[in-house]
Amino acid sequence: MNFCSHCGQPVALRIPEGDSRLRYVCDHCHTIHYQNPNIVAGCLVTVGDQVLLCRRAIEPRHGYWTLPAGFMENGETIEQAARRETVEEACASLHELQLYMLIDVPHINQVHVFYRGELAEGGFAAGVESLEVQLFDEADIPWDDLAFMTVRRTLECFFADRRKQHYPVHTQALPPSRPVQ
């Protein structure tokens, strides 16, 4: 951030009085610009023993497989965001959703929240952000072509939970990414 969104003057990165974190502060109008994590909401969609994956038509990770998910918008609940993203990416409606996975991704300032739900009548199709949408058995999941670690972790937990027929809410944090050598 270079300029204040309130008055247009330059901002400085410093710790404001009474705070403990670096913030962008406008010395002209004294506005403190707080930056908070983005929430990614999505669904682990099931049909019998299969899960629904979308092959991404957009960056990042164009061409890789993911669960239908995306950034939450202002004015919606997390569940509404997860349902909206599932419609946008997979043209799919879901029966009742259950909160399933919450993954903190602090190195990119995100929190990923996945619900678990059964596909409703009407089927599915590739939405504008998907190249294709497909149902996969566990043995056929394209593990090496998954777009994000949060999707991998969610699927790993799901298949382990399915074997026990017990689906608790999981919470995890991803460690910082290691630099590529």
Instruction: Give the domain extent around 158.
Output: 38-173
Q: At 2, which CATH number?
A: 2.20.70.10
pTM of the model: 0.89
Which H helix or E strand runs over 149?
helix 149-164
Q: How far is CA 175 from CA 51, 104, 107, 159, in A?
A: 26, 9, 8, 22
Residues 71 and 90 in one domain: yes
Number of domains in the chain: 2
pLDDT in tens, 25-60: 999 999 999 989 999 999 999 999 999 999 999 999
CA distance 23 to 26: 10
Residues 27 and 98 in one domain: no
Residues 122 and 159 in one domain: yes
Residues 145 and 57 in one domain: yes
In this prediction, residue 122 has a pLDDT band, given cuts at 50, 70 and 90, of: confident
Q: Are 80 and 152 in contact (CB under 8 A)?
A: no
Which H helix or E strand runs over 87?
helix 78-90
